[in-house]
């Protein structure tokens, strides 16, 4: 009888352990808004043999990193991850917008679409910041956050004794069993994973810092292909000198964008494929990509609308005059029904910084079909182009700074010649500039919240896009007033 009981208990324990190890359950949200803000896209997962760079970080560890490694946080205002520009809805919110949790098998935290597509603005220096869904996260230093994770993984303080002391202080209910699991498995494995990722992402060390609100979209794909295929990939990130840094885009009105040439260089005309490639860029692996969750995001952003510019700040008569300028100078490329909207303007014509265009090489375009191979969603729409795409300008008042690389602070600056545009400014501050239609980028507070953008740096050029620069001052004022209404 005792033997039978022992066998039953042993079998039950084994079944329980197997069930625990196979657990793969994300937090779910019925409300589509909450799902967009906190739902999983698959980045809250472990890596796999084919792609070891799963973006999930053990949640218990993630929570205490800012206190253990306080000295490694940026010197921006805010508490903990706020210093990178993450947005918390309330002071007591357990985690910021743009993060998700998945039991895999322990709680892992990852990023989602809202990480890069929920921006903030404030009306006065001392006023509250308000998050806006679908707005580019101009305040978020994505690379700063990634570097923080990679650096702490190499720090001697990233050890079981130090981290578990902080975890128990943060969560007194943390159990003895969890303690053992973290001490002997989770913490050592997480440290090793971060060290491995630091090596994989060493290509960033030879390029300019991304700066808030920007990311290098496709060089990480070269690195993943090199890791997977070796020399046969054709990529060598140790010698690749391309800079592909771009400003984060908005996510409004995606349904009418279907079939347009998407991404800044127009290298893909499928909204669905664009979404999946962004999810992989955000930390999901091909195996962990949450297709059902992404489908919900696809449906949500299909009709998501930008908030209107404050009506009491619009001069209606001047805006009506500006509408005529818009249709004469801008609409053919930037209205939803424009003749050239969603098409690529050749680089020799638009004349803007070509670094991002050159970073997406013909070889990479041909290799993008490696992603999803053998799956229902294998990439098939990527193409090499010769310029940058003409985007619809819905919600343009909230899409500063402007041009594909975020090199022009305001719309008023964009209507000036390159010589008249600011050559250096601070980016990452969310005080809105209602006079010039953009964000405040100079002054003590902009310097305190932001980082210095210099247009002389590779990939940061503010030249080109001369459309509208020859308008009279009165015409420019009228056009700016109309652009507020889009």
Segment 431-437 mean pLDDT: 97
Task: Indicate whether 54 pLDDT > 70.
Answer: no
Is 87 within the bounds of a domain? Answer: yes
Are 381 and 372 in contact by the 8 Å Cβ rule? The answer is no
| pLDDT tens per residue across span 172-229 | 999 999 999 999 999 999 999 999 999 999 999 999 999 999 999 999 999 999 999 9
pTM of the model: 0.93
The pair of structure tokens assigned to 472 is 């009279």
Which helix (H) or strand (E) segment holds residue 345: the answer is strand 344-346
Provide the pLDDT for residue 387. Answer: 98
CA pseudo-torsion sign 51, 377, 225, 406: negative
Q: How far apart are CA 286 and CA 276, in angstroms?
A: 9
Count how many domains the chain has: 1
Which helix (H) or strand (E) segment holds residue 453: the answer is strand 451-454
Q: How far apart are CA 187 and CA 158, in angstroms?
A: 8
Provide the pLDDT for residue 283. Answer: 92
Segment 75-104 mean pLDDT: 96
Task: Indicate whether 13 pLDDT > 70.
Answer: no
Is 124 within the bounds of a domain? Answer: yes
| pLDDT tens per residue across span 332-352 | 999 999 999 999 999 999 999
Rg, the chain, Cα only: 24
> Which residue segment(s) compose the domain that 444 sits in?
22-483
Provide the pLDDT for residue 51. Answer: 60
* Buried-exposed string 269-299: b where 16+ CB fall within 10 A, e elsewhere: bbbebbbbbbbbbbbbbbebbbeebbebbbe
Are 347 and 213 in contact by the 8 Å Cβ rule? The answer is no
Segment 437-451 mean pLDDT: 97
Is 11 within the bounds of a domain? Answer: no
3-state helix, strand, coil in the chain (%, to 5): 45, 10, 45
| pLDDT tens per residue across span 42-52 | 999 876 555 65
Is 14 within the bounds of a domain? Answer: no
Which helix (H) or strand (E) segment holds residue 451: the answer is strand 451-454
Q: How far apart are CA 476 and CA 335, in angstroms?
A: 18
Exposed, middle or buried: residue 42 (CB in 10 Å: 0-12, 13-18, 19+)?
A: buried
Segment 104-122 mean pLDDT: 96
Q: How confident is the model at residue 55 (pLDDT cuts 50, 70, 90)?
A: confident
State whether residue 372 is helix, strand or coil: coil
Segment 151-178 mean pLDDT: 97
| pLDDT tens per residue across span 283-332 | 999 999 999 999 999 999 999 999 999 999 999 999 999 999 999 999 99
Is 12 within the bounds of a domain? Answer: no
Provide the pLDDT for residue 21. Answer: 52
Is 422 within the bounds of a domain? Answer: yes
Q: Which residues contact 293 (CB under 8 A, 6 or more apart)?
A: 26, 35, 39, 40, 41, 42
% of the chain surpassing 90 pLDDT: 92
Task: Indicate whether 385 pLDDT > 50.
Answer: yes
Bridging pattern class, strands 99-103 and 118-121: unpaired
Provide the pLDDT for residue 24. Answer: 77
Provide the pLDDT for residue 18. Answer: 40
Task: Indicate whether 134 pLDDT > 70.
Answer: yes
Q: How confident is the model at residue 104 (pLDDT cuts 50, 70, 90)?
A: confident
């Amino acid at each position: 009888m005792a033997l039978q009981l022992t066998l039953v208990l042993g079998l039950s324990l084994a079944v329980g352990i197997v069930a625990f190890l196979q657990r793969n359950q994300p937090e779910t949200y019925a409300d589509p808004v909450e799902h967009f803000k906190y739902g999983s896209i698959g980045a809250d997962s472990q890596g796999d043999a084919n792609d070891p760079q799963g973006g999930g970080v053990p949640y218990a560890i993630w929570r205490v990193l800012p206190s253990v490694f306080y000295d490694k946080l940026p010197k921006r205002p805010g508490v903990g991850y706020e210093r990178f520009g993450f947005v918390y809805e309330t002071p007591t919110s357990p985690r910021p917008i743009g993060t998700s949790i998945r039991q895999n098998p322990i709680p892992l935290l990852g990023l989602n679409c809202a990480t890069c597509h929920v921006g903030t603005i404030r009306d006065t220096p001392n006023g509250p910041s308000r998050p806006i869904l679908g707005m580019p996260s101009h305040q978020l230093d994505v690379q700063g956050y990634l570097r923080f994770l990679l650096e702490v993984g190499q720090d001697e303080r990233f050890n079981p004794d130090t981290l578990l002391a902080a975890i128990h202080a943060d969560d007194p209910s943390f159990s003895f069993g969890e303690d053992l699991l973290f001490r002997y498995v989770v913490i050592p494995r997480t440290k090793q994973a971060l060290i491995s990722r630091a090596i994989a992402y060493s290509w960033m060390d030879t390029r300019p810092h991304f700066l808030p609100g920007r990311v290098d979209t496709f060089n990480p794909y070269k690195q993943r292909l090199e890791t997977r295929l070796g020399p046969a990939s054709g990529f060598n990130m140790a010698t690749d000198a391309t800079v592909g840094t771009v400003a984060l885009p908005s996510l409004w009105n995606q349904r009418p964008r279907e079939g347009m040439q998407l991404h800044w260089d127009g290298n893909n005309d499928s909204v669905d494929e664009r979404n999946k490639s962004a999810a992989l860029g955000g930390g999901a692996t091909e195996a962990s990509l949450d297709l059902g969750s992404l489908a919900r995001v696809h449906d949500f952003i299909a009709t998501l609308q930008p908030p209107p510019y404050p009506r009491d700040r619009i001069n209606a008569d001047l805006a009506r005059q500006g509408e005529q300028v818009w249709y004469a100078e801008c609409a053919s490329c930037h209205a939803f029904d424009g003749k050239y909207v969603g098409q690529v303007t050749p680089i020799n014509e638009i004349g803007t910084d070509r670094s991002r265009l050159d970073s997406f090489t013909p070889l990479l375009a041909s290799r993008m079909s490696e992603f999803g191979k053998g799956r229902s969603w294998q990439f098939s729409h990527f193409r090499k182009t010769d310029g940058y795409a003409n985007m619809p300008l819905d919600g343009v008042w909230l899409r500063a700074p402007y041009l594909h690389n975020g090199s022009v602070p305001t719309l008023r600056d964009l209507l000036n010649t390159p010589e008249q545009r600011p050559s250096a400014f601070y980016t990452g501050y969310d005080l809105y500039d209602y006079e010039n239609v953009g964000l405040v980028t100079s002054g003590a507070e902009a310097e305190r919240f932001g980082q210095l953008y210099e247009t002389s740096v590779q990939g940061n050029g503010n030249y080109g896009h001369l459309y509208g620069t020859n308008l009279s001052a009165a015409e420019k004022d009228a056009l700016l007033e109309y652009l507020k209404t889009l």
